[in-house]
Structure 1
Amino acid sequence: MTETQVPLEKRDMMRRRAVLAGGAALAATGMAAAAVTTASAGEDTAASSTGAKNGTRNGATATGAGEECYRLTSQTTEGPYYIDADKIRKDITEDKEGIPMTLRLKAIDSDTCKPLRGAAVDIWHCDALGLYSGYESASTGGGGGGTPPTGTPPTGTPTGAPTDTPTGTPPTGGPGGGGGGHEEPTDDKRYLRGTWLTDKNGFVEFKTVFPGWYRGRAVHIHTKVHVGGKMTDAGYEGGHTCHTGQFFFEEAAVLDSAKIAPYSTSTTERTTLTEDTIYDQSGVQGGLLKLSYRKNDMARGVVGSLTMGVDPDETHDGTDL
């Protein structure tokens, strides 16, 4: 039956339904515009947002036998401020101020594409002003108050020439927790550190705050993935570390965070993502997070997500680079 053969009342009803459907689509478009999503270079944003439904995640497609599965996520040094996985928890915030952040991670075998079930995922990062728990006296954060130096400054002009030559071994590690080597903790604080096991689908989720920055490094979160061990009362023990890496943040999101207290009180010069010496500029493979938050209302919270392609048979403890 053609449109001219349809009774007038039915034709009017069909048109009304079409108008209502179009209005609903416009409303949905308006709601989507209220959120900001930063996608990693080369990543299909639409595919990422629907990945859970279609068997894809962060640009990795659902594959069959014989097809390429997932590229290995870049390995990095662990940095000098790592503390063993002794805080088994999903909420690592403690009492730290900052933009609330949910970090959603998935660990998969990069060869088979199968999720890593029961893998222990460590994360640790600095607070909103660049300080690491366990190493507050060694961290290089700045701004937001603090106690000024006390005592009387020295007077007079130095005289004479320096004597002797420096002895000892040069300090290890890069600027502000980015390089290799390891330092022993200087205090017993453990905020913004935690370990949790992946579920049967390889997922793990942490509650934390958006990290700040410190001299020499772009904004980042450290991570390790451990397999083959078990949870004990003392933490995660045994097995081996199959991945050591870092997660990074798009510049636009960092600039948005810098408008909000306490980040806005920082007086530390910031290193951009392109200037960072650890990030390899490879997008998702290099650890660049997908971030979602409300436009002009970032203070309400941020969601960051990433799939880590790792080789569970390898050992990468951050000292092999």
Structure 2
Amino acid sequence: MTGNETAQGPKHKRDLTRRKVVVAGAGAAVAVGVGASFAAGAFADESGKSGTSGASGKKSGSAETCYRLTSETTEGPYYIDADKIRRDITEDKEGIPLVLNLKVIDSETCEPIAGAAVDIWHCDALGIYSGYESLSTGGGGGTPPTDAPTDAPTGEPPSGEPTGEPPSGGTGGGVHEEPTDDERYLRGTWRTDKQGRVTFRTIFPGWYRGRTVHIHTKVHVDGEWTDSGYEGGHTCHTGQFFFDEASVLAAAEVEPYSTSTTERTTLEEDTIYDQSGTTGGLLKLKYNKKNIAKGVVGSITMGVDPDATNTGT
């Protein structure tokens, strides 16, 4: 599904248990690339509201909106269970600044879950994952290895409509691969506050063969925060965040995304996204429609079952 640009234009132009993680040093890298000042300003505002399109309308005594249980998805092959405790995961990667405002609540009680450890990880602007650069199926040219793993289910290639049942319970997807390098950009873990909120600064992800644009996430609870990181507990949610087509098409006009020669899978074609909107991980996005390069703010609330175990493997 990978190809170079043709006379008709780039391929991206389509139609509309134990955990222990190491604390990063205090001097976390600032966002780089176009519009970094936008990201810095948005990152400072951690009281922003999350997306609500998946709300059931149910209210708790504290006036919190109650959300349906967020869809479980595959972990994918590129998870590393030993990441850095940090909110800025950009390192030196170029791309459109993205501020990700997340909130974690108990889908039964509607109450925020404080002290949870939230992981996020995703590919760079050209579809490359840190830790797996030699296996990643994105890039700015050439043909990726035919045996390179993806986190899309095996079988028939994506079509206009998803086939089979929507993913649930962490089934399906690529088999975990051991890291092939020591890079750890665009990966990080942070603690939810008393309101269940956590904010990350990163870049708008690119795309790679067989998958729409997405970000992976895990939520860990009942563990212990120590001076060295987070230990113990269990994973109650494994999911993915998704971007609407309008934002992806806008981003695809900006360098370095515009240099990608990898054919893009649309949101409708993706076999992991269950087409259920916020419940399925679709982010609420804010950005300048005339200049997305200034930066994007994405928000979502995850309704989870803290007593469940969903590892996505």
Under a length normalisation based on structure 2, what TM-score does the superposition of the two structures give? 0.72
2:312 matched to which residue of 1?
318
Q: Pick one of 251, 264, 283 that aligns with 1:270.
A: 264
After TM superposition, give the deviation of residue 174 of structure 1 in Å.
Answer: 3.9
Asked whether the 8 Å contact 1:129–1:213 carries over to 2, the reply is yes
2:59 matched to which residue of 1?
63
Higher helix share: 1
The reply on whether 1:253 has 2:250 as its aligned counterpart is no
2:133 matched to which residue of 1?
136
After TM superposition, give the deviation of residue 305 of structure 1 in Å.
Answer: 0.3
Instruction: Quickly say closer, same or farther: Cα 1:260–1:318, change in 2 above 3 A.
Output: same
**How much identity, in percent, do the aligned residues show?**
73
Paired amino acid for 1:230: E
Paired amino acid for 1:200: K
SS of structure 1 residue aligned to 2:181 = coil
After TM superposition, give the deviation of residue 237 of structure 1 in Å.
Answer: 1.4
Once the two structures are overlaid, the 10-residue window that deviates more, 178-187 or 93-102, is 178-187
Under a length normalisation based on structure 1, what TM-score does the superposition of the two structures give? 0.71
Instruction: Quickly say closer, same or farther: Cα 1:237–1:205, change in 2 above 3 A.
Output: same
Moved over 3 A (4+): 55-59, 170-178, 232-235
Instruction: Quickly say closer, same or farther: Cα 1:56–1:271, change in 2 above 3 A.
Output: closer
SS of structure 2 residue aligned to 1:69 = strand
1:283 matched to which residue of 2?
277
After TM superposition, give the deviation of residue 232 of structure 1 in Å.
Answer: 3.5
Asked whether the 8 Å contact 1:273–1:279 carries over to 2, the reply is yes
Q: In structure 2, how many angstroms separate the alpha carbons of the residues matched to 1:115 and 1:279? A: 25
Residue deviations 1:118-141, cap 9 Å, x none? 000000000000000000000011
Asked whether the 8 Å contact 2:51–2:300 carries over to 1, the reply is no
Residue deviations 1:185-240, cap 9 Å, x none? 00000000000000000000000000000000000000000001123455321000
Residue deviations 1:150-189, cap 9 Å, x none? xxxxxxxxxxxxxxxxxxxx99764599923211100000
SS of structure 1 residue aligned to 2:268 = helix
- Correspondence 1:156-235 to 2 at 5 A: 174-175=151-152, 179-235=173-229
Paired amino acid for 1:241: T
Asked whether the 8 Å contact 1:139–1:176 carries over to 2, the reply is no
Asked whether the 8 Å contact 1:86–1:234 carries over to 2, the reply is no
- Correspondence 1:3-22 to 2 at 5 A: none
After TM superposition, give the deviation of residue 85 of structure 1 in Å.
Answer: 4.1
Structure 2 portions without partners, runs of 5+: 1-46, 155-171
Instruction: Quickly say closer, same or farther: Cα 1:113–1:122, change in 2 above 3 A.
Output: same
Structure 1 portions without partners, runs of 5+: 1-49, 147-169
1:34 matched to which residue of 2?
none
SS of structure 2 residue aligned to 1:253 = helix
Q: In structure 2, how many angstroms separate the alpha carbons of the residues matched to 1:219 and 1:267? A: 15
